[in-house]
Amino acid sequence: MERTFRHHSYLFAMAKKLPRVSFGIIFLCWLPPLVWYLAVYREFSLPIIRLSIVSSLTVTFIALLAAMVLHELCNTVYTVSESSFIKKSPYKIKIAHFDRVIRFRFVRIPFFNGYGAIVVPGGVIRLPFIIDHLAECVEAIKQRLDMQERAGLYDEKNLLAFQKKALVHEKSVRRIQKAAGPLFQTAISWMAGGAFIAQAFWDLPLRWIVCWGIMGIV
């Protein structure tokens, strides 16, 4: 039976929220000159306006780059069929027929998660840890290789370590997904509250207001 796997759902959530977050950050970039004008000197500061313009353009460039990367990741699927493993992205399709696989292994990289590698005569198809249900994907590939009587192409202990690490990584991702929203809201609230207190109660200079807001995020 054919099985299809995609990347983790947080990538789809990031792609969906990217426009709103980008506009929000651009608004924050223009907040200092507005505060400077409305609450401090009643006149615009050209250096701060120039900084806001540069910051806005930088955020826009990063957002466009992130949109391109997320578009590719969200539209990439991994399919395990009876006879082959297929990685299909918006720009390329890679196919590894199980009867032509040379090796299937877990590549360890110090200080990083590493990746799975399906080695075929034409190259390598990688299985990164951002694949959702990666452990099940590895098991499905193993079963197809066993059906082809090619179990000697992989080391059982090596792939077992891969699957265990994939399960741990998946649990970590689930925890981060649950915590990310409240943590972000808390950080923004502390930033806004700190900046307001620094201006309204202590009447600090703008640079110290900005520093106090950054400390609130930390």
Tens digits of per-residue pLDDT, 51-96?
888 989 999 999 999 999 999 999 999 999 988 999 999 989 999 9
Cβ(14)–Cβ(176) below 8 Å: no
Helix (H) or strand (E) holding 127: strand 123-127
Q: How many CB atoms lie within 10 A of CB 206?
A: 19
Band of residue 180 on the pLDDT scale cut at 50, 70, 90: confident
3-state secondary structure 12-37: HHHHHHHHHHHHHHHHHHCHHHHHHH
Amino acid, single-letter form, for residue 51 = L
* Bridge partners, 131 (sequence order): 7
CA 70/CA 90 separation, integer angstroms? 11
Residue 7 has pLDDT above 90, yes or no: yes
CA 143/CA 150 separation, integer angstroms? 10
* Bridge partners, 125 (sequence order): 118
